[in-house]
Amino acid sequence: MEIAGGEFIKSTDAGCPPGTEIEVRDLFYNVPARKSFLKGHATELGHMLNIVTRHALGYKDIHLTLMNIDKGGVPLLDFPPVGDVEERLYQIYGGDILQELMNVSCETEGCSIHGFISRPSLTFRSRENQLFFVNKRSVRNPTLSHALQEAYSDLIPRDRYAMAVLWIEIDPASVDVNVHPSKREVKFRDNRYIHDRVAGAVRDSLRPKGRASAYPEAFESAVRPEIREGIAGHPNPFIDDREFHPQEISVGPSIRVFGQVGALFIVGEINGELHIIDQHAAHERVIYDRLKRGYADSKIEVQYLLIPETLELSLDKAHVLMGYQETLSRLGFDIEEMGERSFMIRTVPVLFAGEACRALITDMIDEMIERESSSGRGIRLTATEDILNALLSRKACHKAVRGKDLLSQGEMTSLLSALLQTDMPYTCPHGRPIVRRFSYTDMEKMFGRT
């Protein structure tokens, strides 16, 4: 079948193997004006590589090949069909990247989410490695991008981006695919619902119940079964007639502290591997976890200010504050509107008693504006957790030990023990890394012993 410029030319019988082969020549011959909008050769080739890669992830059972005719048909990409997505990811990204990915799976009424996300240790400078498929269609959507970033909010720096390959299945009637000529962008009927489902699914994978799994090598505690048996297989006469059940005893990680370097880093051995820990970042994470758990386990207690404080804001910030008054009230802030841009602060949560109230509220408003502006179209902060996390991370930073603080051996050991009990022991609440691990294999390679 031959078609030129949208017009049918001819159709003839041809013997060929199963499949479809499409050949395109003299592109834009009848619309030369469009050709002038093309970028350079390298840029356009990059677009083609990106498109083929996305299709390969969307259709793992199809063999896709991209060849360069100018170089004698040399394959640029060659993705044979595979049985599961992990194999396709290995074909595209290799084993090193695949080892840093975690599984995501979430089934809720009207929405199914599954795929892979990177551990917080693997981040990039742009969102190019965030791929979303809605009903098997590769799409770009600011709501999905923001949901992913929100789930990583206290795990990675704000100028870094995690990797994700997520497939989302929803009712086709809930998504509009006709908002962009190339069908690359979609619009959801309920942005907030999709945003919360995606953020929740990613957050659950990053913060599993029990021990943290996103950095298992450093913080995996041992579990040793203790079974009392007779010697050399002979029965024990004292317990021979008793029914005995093996019991698992959880043994905490082995910690040996060597000392401080520059009164800033702690050097120690955890579970037989060398670790270097940023003491300030580690203490931030410990305090943040304690504050958050304390908040979650108890009701909000408020502290009435002996002398209510007045706060005057610019009109734009006053408008933002008024929009979040109900949310702040649930957090324990009693802020009364006194005029178009003036407010009276009467109570604050006990957790933040003693803080400079004006600075606290001002910082909180800036956080709201920043998160709301980056949240994508149609998304407004409604969960108290967004604001609470910002407040807690700020307080944790202020209370944490600083660099250049000298710590005793006992203080360092206690800090590492407390760190290993947190939900996320590898990044501070601002997303900066806490620990660097060096296995014996790593050190053998560094010293040429392998």
Are residues 243 and 306 both part of a single domain?
no
In degrees, rounded to 5, the angle at the alpha carbon of residue 366 between the alpha carbons of residues 363 and 368 is 110
Q: Has residue 95 been placed in a domain?
A: no
Are residues 162 and 275 both part of a single domain?
no
Q: Has residue 393 been placed in a domain?
A: no
* pLDDT tens digits along 18-66: 777 777 778 788 887 778 888 877 788 888 888 888 889 888 888 888 8
Domain end residue (candidates: 31, 50, 85)? 85
In total, how many domains does the chain have?
A: 4
Q: Has residue 131 been placed in a domain?
A: yes
Are residues 260 and 246 both part of a single domain?
no
* pLDDT tens digits along 284-316: 888 777 777 766 666 667 889 888 999 888 887
Q: Has residue 91 been placed in a domain?
A: no
3-class secondary-structure state, position 161: strand
Q: Has residue 53 been placed in a domain?
A: yes
Domain end residue (candidates: 85, 118, 135)? 85
Q: For 354, what's the count of Cα atoms within 13 Å in the CB-facing half-sphere?
A: 5
Are residues 113 and 43 both part of a single domain?
no
Instruction: For the sheet with 435-438, list strands across it.
Output: 255-261, 265-270, 273-278, 435-438
Model confidence, pTM? 0.61
pLDDT of residue 212: 42
Quote the CA–CA distance of 376 and 160 in Å, as a whole number.
17
Are residues 334 and 297 both part of a single domain?
yes
Q: Choose among 390, 380, 357, 326: nearest CA to 153.
A: 390
Quote the CA–CA distance of 67 and 45 in Å, as a whole number.
11
Q: Choose among 187, 203, 166: nearest CA to 378.
A: 187
Give the structural domain span for 368.
254-375+402-450
pLDDT of residue 401: 65
**For residue 370, what pLDDT band results from cuts at 50, 70 and 90?**
low
Are residues 192 and 267 both part of a single domain?
no
Average pLDDT rounded to a whole number, residues 263-291:
85
Domain end residue (candidates: 24, 59, 85)? 85
Which segment, 15-29, 202-216, 361-375, 407-421, is predicted with the most confidence on average? 407-421
Are residues 129 and 156 both part of a single domain?
yes
For the domain that residue 42 is a member of, what is the CATH number?
A: 3.30.565.10
Q: Has residue 347 been placed in a domain?
A: yes
Q: Has residue 20 been placed in a domain?
A: yes
Are residues 108 and 143 both part of a single domain?
yes
Task: Give the containing element (helix H, strand E) for 170.
Answer: strand 164-170
Are residues 107 and 242 both part of a single domain?
no
For the domain that residue 150 is a member of, what is the CATH number?
A: 3.30.230.10
Q: Has residue 90 been placed in a domain?
A: no
